[in-house]
Structure 1
């Protein structure tokens, strides 16, 4: 089943509004920078795509870190847009579904307490543990953002929180199933993640996933010289209703899967997940992993599904890899571009590698009405989302 998207919002490295970020995407801009929130000279990966704004002041800052606050902002904004267009539900008919990157031990939270400790583990309290607020772990509860948003909206319908690299797609799929079962009438789906925490950058570089080149030498996914992706961060939200609302920005379907591998998924599971959604699509938004072998395997399996001549783009080349928020960002970006009748190019692509599919170097006009998007992550995870707009939607243009 598909669902109608009746509201959307995001916070991305290319901008906090959909119109701003999509315009920069279509202009070929790339958010990668070597000016991050902390010093990275000693890191193997020294560049990223950060959010440049700060969260709004919120009473929820006692319980949420910055990305969770961004997630709540996007969710409220998307719901306001949907209600402005006449969509509404509340109480037991409004469901909330959340995706986030998963439980992580944030080094900057613990550094003050641990930097003065000694191997013999004596005097741990006096050496730093007494500097940690007794409730500091409350900010790490997996369902904090979900619970706080539900309280804000008095939402009591079906919902769930998902964690991991494809959590956004899992949340979308669950929301669509709840709408199909008619247990709710409207769903707010939001996801947030950052791959730019110190501990995450270390892990990504150690696995050979994130790029270790200098900013001046950065290449794009599907380029012959691709050498790893740019880690980023984002929050995004969609408001969904059952098909036939008459107010849809686009329709959406989602799928996810995994093969249990410790790192990137095998081509077979990527093909299996994509095949659950693929139709006669001529536009593919690839996972943008920027590894020559991974890129080639992906192009091969997608060509077997959609044909050698399908157009290949990668919005993550512009935004950076966004973890759990990826699927929602892809959905908003692709739907917005299709509604404008423009196909986004792969930011930074200079020398496309040989292979099936047709990599798009520069933004170009398109008559496509649908797009298939893929994203991946460790351990062995794959997410897919399919976006479709109708002729009436395209004629209206961007709201």
Structure 2
């Protein structure tokens, strides 16, 4: 039996243009508000999250002042789990900002790819209590369509009349990044002309957050919650859970230019791999992550010495930050400026990679790297050029955005400036 090739065959570079972006995060509803707070490096973690009342780990980066009624019909809104609501608001902003007209596009060639790991967790937990306390006849008939992980993508396709493929990626905390990578492949293959992509997650429910707490994955330092999430700090000790969504509109670069679109950045490379190591812990040397990073470089035809910036997965856990730092150093050296926006918006699981993809695109567009919030004492063992205390003006042409998840899931996007 012959062995598979050790090096994938080279492919012609393919640039997917990012022509629209939308975000809903703890930093704000909308790209402008979220990006402003990321640039300021102002943390959002807090107690008093109503959904988490009564549990010891009752802190999170929650989306506040969220009113989807301006984008979703009130009759439909109560039929949607929060994860779908977040996705629809972000998608509305993204498609609107792209300048695309749904009345003139070929709907059969418009696809949706959304990352989601948990689905309608709040709906599931609420209806489980109804079942136990009031009996099966009181369980909502909408339970299944509200909790199914695919429904965020489904409702986006309904909102915009998109008749192309509608897919959900579930690669844990890499889901949003995987979705963007798969969306680019739909363009590259010729299946779609436009893909609405990103990630959403609404995991702030007692059972899930307690589960993370029991794993000791959550931040233990809670004296000042706004500074609790501290990626790459010597004193880091866990992540802060969050909810949120981000959506990007992708088109072929030549199509976007032909219609005079405002191109924010290009998705020029994508790589994915598995650690094949442990259910929850990363490969300590980051070998699986390295495979994904090198694959993204190879896909884009970009040398490691050309990467100017890394938007890190940077969860603020001891193992993840250390493994990621080893990967960055080994592949990219100490040259790229590194940041993690999780110090501001927390860790929104499947939505994280999509939020970070938007942040990376904005960094390339504006030439400004947001600081890693709450980083006071950089861990000397990590040996990275981490941007902290204040943002940094740069002329960045090439950036990578890393995402890693439970199960050893690794996904990396390579973005280039226009």
TM-score (norm 1): 0.88
Is 1:2 matched with 2:15?
yes
Is 1:276 matched with 2:276?
no
Instruction: Give the Cα–Cα distance (whole angstroms) in 2 for the partners of residues 333 and 347 of structure 1.
Output: 14
Deviation of the 1:108 alpha carbon: 2.6
Instruction: Give the Cα–Cα distance (whole angstroms) in 2 for the partners of residues 323 and 254 of structure 1.
Output: 19
Counterpart residue number, 2:176: 168
Counterpart residue number, 2:129: 111
CA 1:158 to 1:137, structure 2 compared with 1: closer, same or farther past 3 Å?
closer
Worse-superposed segment, 84-93 or 72-81: 84-93
* 1:164-219 deviation line (CA, Å, top 9, x unaligned): 42222222222111111112111111321123221221121222222133141625
CA 1:255 to 1:215, structure 2 compared with 1: closer, same or farther past 3 Å?
farther
Instruction: Report if the CA contact (8 A) 2:115-2:200 is conserved.
Output: yes
Instruction: Give the Cα–Cα distance (whole angstroms) in 1 for the partners of residues 113 and 238 of structure 2.
Output: 31
Residue aligned with 1:235, SS = strand
Is 1:373 matched with 2:408?
no
Deviation of the 1:347 alpha carbon: 0.2
* 1:56-84 deviation line (CA, Å, top 9, x unaligned): 23343354201201201221221122125
Aligned counterpart for 1:210 among listed residues 215, 218, 243: 218
Residue aligned with 2:47, SS = coil
Deviation of the 1:40 alpha carbon: 4.3
CA RMSD of aligned residues (A): 2.2
Deviation of the 1:254 alpha carbon: 3.2
Deviation of the 1:307 alpha carbon: 0.9
Instruction: Report if the CA contact (8 A) 1:192-1:236 is conserved.
Output: yes
Aligned counterpart for 1:97 among listed residues 99, 105, 113: 113
Instruction: Give the Cα–Cα distance (whole angstroms) in 1 for the partners of residues 241 and 154 of structure 2.
Output: 28
Unaligned runs of 5+ in 2: 1-13, 298-302
CA 1:38 to 1:150, structure 2 compared with 1: closer, same or farther past 3 Å?
closer
Is 1:231 matched with 2:241?
yes
Is 1:48 matched with 2:60?
yes
CA 1:175 to 1:212, structure 2 compared with 1: closer, same or farther past 3 Å?
same
* 1:145-182 deviation line (CA, Å, top 9, x unaligned): 32232233222223322224222222222211111111
Unaligned runs of 5+ in 1: 117-126, 391-399
Deviation of the 1:376 alpha carbon: 1.8
Instruction: Report if the CA contact (8 A) 1:373-1:386 is conserved.
Output: yes
Give 1:280-295 correspondences, 5 Å limit. Answer: 280-295=306-321
Deviation of the 1:301 alpha carbon: 1.6
Is 1:358 matched with 2:376?
no
Is 1:22 matched with 2:35?
yes
Counterpart residue number, 2:204: 196
Counterpart residue number, 1:250: 265
Instruction: Report if the CA contact (8 A) 2:339-2:372 is conserved.
Output: yes
**Alignment coverage as a number of residue pairs:** 378
Instruction: Give the Cα–Cα distance (whole angstroms) in 1 for the partners of residues 15 and 166 of structure 2.
Output: 18
Residue aligned with 1:254, SS = strand
Instruction: Give the Cα–Cα distance (whole angstroms) in 1 for the partners of residues 190 and 26 of structure 2.
Output: 36
Instruction: Report if the CA contact (8 A) 2:238-2:315 is conserved.
Output: yes
Instruction: Give the Cα–Cα distance (whole angstroms) in 2 for the partners of residues 87 and 364 of structure 1.
Output: 41
Instruction: Give the Cα–Cα distance (whole angstroms) in 2 for the partners of residues 289 and 270 of structure 1.
Output: 15
Instruction: Report if the CA contact (8 A) 2:30-2:90 is conserved.
Output: no
* 1:211-269 deviation line (CA, Å, top 9, x unaligned): 13314162511100001011111111111101232331110133333234210331111
Instruction: Give the Cα–Cα distance (whole angstroms) in 2 for the partners of residues 255 and 88 of structure 1.
Output: 33
Instruction: Report if the CA contact (8 A) 2:229-2:240 is conserved.
Output: no
Runs of 4 or more consecutive aligned structure 1 residues displaced over 4 Å after TM superposition? 84-88
Counterpart residue number, 1:397: none
